[in-house]
Chain A
Amino acid sequence: MEDQLMSGVENIPKIPKWFFRWYCKRELYEEMHGDLEEFYIDRLKVQGKFRADLWYCYNVLRCCQPYAWKNLESQSNSNIGMVRNFYLSAVRNLVKNKSYSLISILGLTIGISSFIFISLYIVNELSYDRFHTHHENIYRVSNKAIIRGEPNEQATTGAPMGKVMEESYPEVKKATRLMKSGPLLIGQGDYKFSEENILFADQAFLDVFDFRLLKGNPLNALKQPKSVVLTEAYAQKYFGERNPVGQFITVEEDTTHYLVTGVVESAPANSHIQYDMLVSLSTKDFANTDRWIGRSLHTYVVLEDGSSPDMLSQKMHEIFYKYMAPEISYYTGMPISEWEASGNSVSFKLTAIKDIHLHSEAQGELEPLGNLNHIYVFGLIGLIVLFMAIFNFINLAIAHSANRAREVGVRKVIGSTKNALIYQFLLESTMVVLLGTILAAFVVITFTPFFTQLVGKELAFGIDSSYLVWPVLAGMTIFIGLLSGLYPSLVMASYKPIQVLKSGLFKGHKSGWLRNTLVALQFIASIVIIISTLTVYRQIDFMLSKNLGYSKDQVLVIKRAGWLADNLEPFKNDLLSLSNVSAVSSSKTIPGKRYDLRSYRRPDNPETYLFLNNQVNYDYLEMMGLELVAGRFFSRSYGADSNAVVLNESAVRAFDFDDPIGEPLSSSFKKGRPLKVIGVVKDYNVESLHKSVSPISIELDLESNDFLSIRINSDPNIPVTLGQIQDAWLKHSNEKPFQYFFLDQEYERLYQSEVTTGRILLVFSTLSIFVASIGLIGLIAFTTLIRRKEIGIRKILGAKLMLLIQMLTKDTVILLSIATLIAWPIAYLATEYWLQDFANRVAISFWFYIISVLIVGAIVGLVISFHTVKASMRNPVESLRQE
């Protein structure tokens, strides 16, 4: 019986017990803890260990009240008076060594604010789409196809998918569909704007997602055809302070009216669904058909709790065979088994909504995706900046420890314990870090707009968006304070009074290995960062300046040239009469924009090939500056060019033609109508250089004029030319909005993600190198100061200036050499890894490796030479004088 009870007491959790013993008055401990033990044992028997533990913890916390606390005055190491004294001496020391304090605090401020900024960015990326109440159960259906062995995943599926899933599978609770619209001309009264960010959405959209309707009825706002829901900002834009609900806006034509049925919240920045307006999907006829092939939509489903998306996607093969297969057979003219046997297949994949932003591999996403690798890179550089600052702080603290030696000696003689000294120095370092954190918080608040500009997107979280930030910052402060203060405080607390108080110079602790390691780490990080930044910039520059096979400079592109309708030719003629316009042509798409896929096959061979397809007007070749390698381009002087096709070299290689000119092709998109190859153009890149050149087919279509491109002579007066083009446009388009861009700027947007990464890398690597440099300045200033007597004696004994400089710089030069040897392989692996992503990549340049070391060497040299020369030139009388 007694044994049992004893073992019950031993079950008491250690940490709360230790905590209780720590705060509880010694004279009360026995009786109070005895009471707690009694309760614990009672509960252990009745309610089990877990609940007993929990209650025990609760009681320990409840008992932690002033009546039970130890008397602070009687304790040697937590005496309030002593903490006050620690605080005062810390402040005095900071004020006394101004340059040391400034360097430490400045470094920490930069390090911590960079770290906070990058954390905010990373949290934003990782938090995508988690704000929906049912985000665990929302999945997006994508279409995974293998066409002739080529895998291809599309984020969109056939229009009936949502409905069919809802009807066929009980675990599908709801389904909703979305379609991103091209720009539409929206009008209200006299205002007319072309709006880009319009989504067509099913009635269930507002039910499935947590986008709150501020006005209107969420159940039927998107039900009727021609209903539109505006965000607050857009309601304001079109209707000012008036209530927009029940009003009409015009879409495209002045006679087409849509009813405003509600006002919706804007989507948060960490949503992959972004919109300015929502239009009911029932407006679009194709969305209500039963056709699977052709236009497709983003489909989202809500599953029942606990149902497995993998199992469901397996089951969805039925959908393919039941609905899609007959359509495929119809279009290809072969039974589905034969189609599958020739290396084709279609399956469906369910992607959890929270994984879309970072893990989706599908084409045709609503918004640009994030890149997990970039997140790692940013996280790494954030840590590097932070640790540069921490290393500075440690190094300077150790270097300055000799200064505090007398203080330590006196404190010890008076009766301070070693522990008390350790507490003192830890408190001091935490105070400095706290100062840095507070300043960093201000820096973050002040510079947030710059940072958003730098990363090129709004962030969902700021430093002030949650109260959780404060405990996190406090925890970080304490962590960094302890981390950076631990070693210096151990060193200082271990000084022996008899040594440090003896008259004469105390040389300080010889902790050379730690200082050298930290400095070497800073060198390594600096060299790696410089090489990486240079490589990233080199690659970006390469992509932007590479000869793409067409000439993208000096091309002005007008969007939605379809508005011209019959006035296209007169407009073109007007443009060509301008002195600065050299060529004009219209096309369905342009390089850098989305290309549709078309399948082609040779009449004698069932194998089909998918090519990127563009439909263009005459003169497209001259306008784009494409190079013709064989045959001819479309021309007005031939009548039958509507059945002609021009291929690029890659497409010719795919077909393995000996002489492609005149070869017949058939394309299922033209209902098997025979086509004839009339020309071949040199390969050119229409997609990002992440990919190699794809096969392209060009067909003639005088009706496809989504884009009208104008080649302008390189003339200094672009604004005048632009004005003339605009006048002509307004005249011929019946005053439609004039929307244009320059092709080269549009092209740069393909590399937005890389350009942003490069910019972020540049800013933060500059900061980290700056932090490392000021640390080095502080460190070298101090070491030369310590050695000034040595230098004085050496000078008296006849040492030359050069010899002294050599003596003072030797260590640093050795460190830099070792760091270089370690940094180069790391940088090589890092840049190789990053460059893997690109089909067209630059070679790794040997020069970057040299340059990086030269840069670091130059900074080090500058810092050292300033201090060493100053120290060496000083008159020995000054340094050797006895005070």
Chain B
Amino acid sequence: MGRSHIGEFEELVLLMVGVLYDDAYAVAITKEISKQSGRKVNVSAVHKSLYRLEEKGMLSSRLSDPESKRGGKRKRLFAITPFGKKAIDDMMELRMQLRQQIPDMAFQWKTN
């Protein structure tokens, strides 16, 4: 597996950055994952994934303007890079391919 390999949680974060588009920063992503997938996520895990994805070149980032809501601190907004999009597409494609290769037989659970 090359540099494009990403883990399941990283994939979720990557997708969520796309979903949130213009407002993709750690707090929003954390809340959105909790909301949409129903799993409890700590902001630290999101941070970690974001920085790793950026390191891998799948995300780019910029700092926002200072926000009064954050005690005058700026936040880091993330966006998907073309390489990131390729990673998502590759993964989706692979999954679909594999899904189609599953024979119908495998889903027939008649017990004798």
Interface residues of A (CB under 8 A from B): 2, 5-6, 9, 28, 30-39, 41, 59, 62-63, 65, 67-68
Contacts and interface: CB of A to CB of B under 8 A. Distances in A.
Contacts of B70: 34, 37-38
A5 B73 contact: no
B74 interface: yes
Contacts of B95: none
A31 B73 contact: yes
B86 interface: no
A62 B74 contact: no
Given A35-B25, A35-B27, A62-B44, A9 B63 contact: no
Contacts of B71: 5-6, 9, 34, 37
Contact of B48 (A6, A30, A37, A67): A67
Interface residues of B, number: 21
Contact of B73 (A6, A30, A39): A30
Contacts of B111: none
B30 to A, nearest CB: 8
Interface in B38-83: 42-45, 47-48, 51-52, 63, 67-71, 73-76
Contacts of A28: 51
Contacts of A31: 25-26, 63, 73-76
A37 B70 CA distance: 6
Contacts, number: 58
A562 to B, nearest CB: 76
Given A2-B68, A35-B43, A65 B73 contact: no
Given A30-B73, A59-B43, A63-B47, A35 B26 contact: yes
A720 to B, nearest CB: 84
A9 B72 CA distance: 11
A32 B47 CA distance: 8
A2 B42 CA distance: 27
A563 B52 CA distance: 89
A395 B75 CA distance: 54
Contacts of A36: 43
B43 A67 contact: no
Contacts of B76: 31
A338 to B, nearest CB: 77
B60 to A, nearest CB: 15
A28 B75 CA distance: 10
25 contacts: A2-B68, A5-B71, A6-B71, A31-B26, A31-B63, A31-B73, A31-B76, A32-B26, A34-B70, A34-B74, A34-B75, A35-B25, A35-B27, A37-B70, A38-B27, A38-B69, A39-B27, A39-B43, A59-B42, A62-B42, A62-B43, A63-B44, A65-B48, A67-B47, A68-B47
Nearest to A64: B44
B43 A5 contact: no
B10 to A, nearest CB: 13
Give 6 closest A-B pairs by Cβ, nearest first.
A34-B73, A62-B44, A9-B71, A34-B70, A31-B76, A63-B44
Interface in B10-41: 25-27
Contacts of B43: 35-36, 39, 59, 62-63
Contacts of A41: 69
Contacts of A62: 42-45
A165 B48 CA distance: 65
A35 B68 contact: no
Interface of B: 25-27, 42-45, 47-48, 51-52, 63, 67-71, 73-76
Contacts of A38: 27, 69-70
Nearest to B48: A67
Residue from A6, A35, A68 with most neighbouring chain B CB atoms (10 Å): A35
Nearest to A30: B73
Nearest to B49: A67
B47 A5 contact: no
A8 to B, nearest CB: 9
Contacts of A37: 70-71, 73
A35 B75 contact: yes
A7 to B, nearest CB: 10
A707 to B, nearest CB: 75
Contacts of A30: 73-74
Nearest to A61: B44
Nearest to A1: B68
Nearest to A10: B71
Residue from B45, B51, B68, B69 with most neighbouring chain A CB atoms (10 Å): B69
Given A38-B69, A62-B42, 20 more contacts: A2-B68, A5-B68, A28-B51, A31-B63, A31-B74, A31-B75, A32-B47, A34-B71, A34-B73, A34-B74, A35-B27, A36-B43, A37-B71, A38-B70, A39-B43, A59-B44, A63-B47, A67-B51, A67-B52, A68-B47
Nearest to B77: A31
A450 to B, nearest CB: 52
B74 A35 contact: no
A40 to B, nearest CB: 10
A68 B25 CA distance: 16
A35 B47 contact: yes
A521 B67 CA distance: 61
A63 B45 CA distance: 8
A37 B75 CA distance: 11
Contacts of A65: 44, 48
Contacts of A32: 26, 47
Nearest to A33: B73
Nearest to B55: A67
Residue from A32, A34, A41, A68 with most neighbouring chain B CB atoms (10 Å): A34
A117 B82 CA distance: 68
A5 B52 CA distance: 32
A294 B8 CA distance: 80
Contacts of B45: 62
A38 B71 CA distance: 9
Contacts of A68: 47
Nearest to A62: B44
Residue from B48, B70, B74 with most neighbouring chain A CB atoms (10 Å): B70
A751 B11 CA distance: 77
A16 to B, nearest CB: 14
B71 to A, nearest CB: 4
Contacts of B67: 34
Contacts of B26: 31-32, 35
A41 B63 CA distance: 21
Contacts of A9: 71
A4 to B, nearest CB: 11
A30 B71 CA distance: 10
A46 to B, nearest CB: 13
A34 B48 CA distance: 15
A37 B68 CA distance: 11
A428 B67 CA distance: 47
B67 to A, nearest CB: 8
A39 B25 CA distance: 13
Contacts of A34: 67, 70-71, 73-75
A68 B43 CA distance: 13
A63 B30 CA distance: 14
Contacts of A59: 42-44
Residue from A9, A30, A41 with most neighbouring chain B CB atoms (10 Å): A30
Contacts of A33: 73
A28 B27 CA distance: 15
